């Protein structure tokens, strides 16, 4: 009887884990699709989503520090983080694009966007952490389950917010440099360039 119950419990957990992974993949795809339409660019959503692995690192560190398990509820917290964490990166990328459309160079636009958006980013983070903190500190049977999810959200969000201010500008500049390199590679040569090359030969 006990053996049968443990086997059914393991199979249920495996099914929940499989469903969680499927939900995560679908959410990543939908988030990318929405951002690609909004930004009208295929690379900018990738820049924004580069923050997601950092959120995972924050979740693991937070759960390890509080001695809590990586469970199904903490997995739900990770899925919630996908939408919450990306807001900060979207603020940075959107402001950087606005400044670049005004003719500001990439490096200056990235630095100025960070200065302009650092207060909204911290305000968003602190309000979310403040709202989740009572749930993370809850005790009792129900609190133990919910605290795992809240801890995952708080630790992942705080760690990703700090990394966002460094990682997103660096990835943006990297993608911009790669795009410029491909642009020069496939850009048709002008008549003046051909004349100079012919004279050199």
CATH code (residue 154):
1.20.1640.10
Q: Is residue 35 part of a domain?
A: no
> What is the total count of domains within the chain?
1
- Which residue did the predictor score with more confidence, 16 or 108? 108
What is the pLDDT of the chain when averaged over all its residues? 79
Q: Is residue 199 part of a domain?
A: no
Q: What is the pLDDT of residue 5?
A: 45
Q: Is residue 183 part of a domain?
A: no
Q: What is the pLDDT of residue 141?
A: 65
Identify the domain containing residue 92 by its residue range: 51-168
Q: Is residue 36 part of a domain?
A: no
pLDDT in tens, 127-168: 988 888 888 887 766 666 788 888 888 999 999 888 888 888
Residue 193 in this model has a pLDDT that exceeds 70: no
Q: Is residue 91 part of a domain?
A: yes
Q: Is residue 186 part of a domain?
A: no
pLDDT in tens, 40-51: 888 888 888 888
Res. 196 pLDDT band, cuts 50 70 90: very low
Q: What is the pLDDT of residue 3?
A: 47
Q: Which long-range contacts (CB under 8 A, 24 or more apart) does 72-76 make?
A: 72/13, 72/16, 72/17, 72/20, 73/145, 73/146, 73/148, 73/149, 73/152, 74/148, 74/149, 74/151, 74/152, 75/17, 75/20, 75/24, 76/20, 76/149
**Residue 85 CA to its chain's centroid (Å):** 5
Identify the weakest region by mean pLDDT among 29-33, 64-68, 94-98, 186-190. Answer: 186-190
Res. 201 pLDDT band, cuts 50 70 90: very low
Residue 178: both structure tokens together: 């790669």
Q: Is residue 124 part of a domain?
A: yes
């Amino acid at each position: 009887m006990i053996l049968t119950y443990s086997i059914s419990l393991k199979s249920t957990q495996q099914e929940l884990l499989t469903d969680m992974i499927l939900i995560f993949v679908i959410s990543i795809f939908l988030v990318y699709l929405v951002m690609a339409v909004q930004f009208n660019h295929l690379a900018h959503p990738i820049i924004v989503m580069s923050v997601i692995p950092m959120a995972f690192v924050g979740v693991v560190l937070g759960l390890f520090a509080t001695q809590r398990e990586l469970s199904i509820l903490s997995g739900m917290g990770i899925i919630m983080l996908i939408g919450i964490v990306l807001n900060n990166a979207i603020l940075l990328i959107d402001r950087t694009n606005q400044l670049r459309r005004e003719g500001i160079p990439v490096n200056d636009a990235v630095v100025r966007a960070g200065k302009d958006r650092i207060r909204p980013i911290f305000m968003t983070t602190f309000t979310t952490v403040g709202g989740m903190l009572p749930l993370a500190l809850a005790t009792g049977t129900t609190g133990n389950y919910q605290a795992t999810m809240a801890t995952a959200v708080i630790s992942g969000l705080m760690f990703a917010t700090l990394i966002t201010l460094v990682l997103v500008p660096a990835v943006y500049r990297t993608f911009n440099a790669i795009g410029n390199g491909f642009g020069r590679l496939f850009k048709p040569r002008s008549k003046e360039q051909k004349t100079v090359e012919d004279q050199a030969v």
